[in-house]
Amino acid sequence: MTAGPRAPFGERLTAAVGTRGPLCAGIDPHASLLEQWGLSVDAKGLERFAMTCAEAFAGEVAIVKPQSAFFEAHGSAGVAVLEKLIASFLDSGTLVLADVKRGDIGSTMAAYAQAYLGEGSPLAADAVTVSPYLGFGSLDPALALAERNERGLFVLALTSNKEGPQVQRARSEEGVVVAQTMVDEAAAHNEGAAPLGSVGLVIGATVGRTELDLSRLNGPILAPGFGAQGAGVDDLAKVFGDHLPHVLPASSRDILRHGPDVTALRDAALRVRDAVAAQARQLS
């Protein structure tokens, strides 16, 4: 996303959170939200929605998370809007996490990585979400390109959807929970990084207490499910405990429902950010 030399993603994220607080503002242009904002459910309405979010959030929050599926649903015109949205945050101080959840093998994974992590790609973001459930090693092309270009990955570990436990909470022959394996693999990539590694995890804010040992992670944690999906500040403390300072609660609908007024959108995001920051300070 940013041209020229850059610091590692973990370092840039730490600086952004230090300046703008712990919040990942989701940009999820559901058809129902477009209608709620009085916009047409087409590429034109999508662009108005996206650019309004950019105006509200750029320079104000640490990181934003556009959900690519809602852009892709509009075909090539929607992808063009996603490209424009990513570019609009360039040099704003707000990072972009493209929520693409890609996961494949070999040359296919390499192509996905080039699209979202490659220099010169119009879709290249500061970080992306990826799925390791073809085996953590299937992420190697993305891990290598992210490291080379100082970008980041957020690896699905323990998600809040009801189907997730079937795989994520299963145990290996050694008795290790699958999600813990993902934590340990991410930790190995972050070892020695300062102030924070660039390989993060996705752990749902609504999963409740877990058996996960996060002590060696040395990376950020994206916590979707905050706000409209049911998790509050107290839930974050229960799930993440001492690791809360490295957690990025992701909130979308609770913020986006305040649109299309730019000031109302911005104020809603900052209220959420400040509430999380206050809780984190109590634990530190």
pLDDT tens-place values along the chain, 284 residues long: 444 579 999 999 999 999 999 999 999 999 999 999 999 999 999 999 999 999 999 999 999 999 999 999 999 999 999 999 999 999 999 999 999 999 999 999 999 999 999 999 999 999 999 999 999 999 999 999 999 999 999 999 999 888 999 999 999 889 999 999 999 999 999 999 999 999 999 999 988 878 899 999 999 999 998 876 667 777 888 888 888 889 999 999 999 999 999 999 999 999 989 988 887 777 66
Domain boundaries, the chain: 9-279
Residue range 9-279 forms a domain whose CATH class is alpha beta
DSSP letter string over 125-185? -SEEEE--TT-GGGGHHHHHHHHHTT-EEEEEEE--STTTHHHHT-B-TTS-BHHHHHHHH
Q: Which residues are catalytic?
A: 101
Rounded distance, CA 6 to CA 82, Å? 22
Rounded distance, CA 96 to CA 150, Å? 13
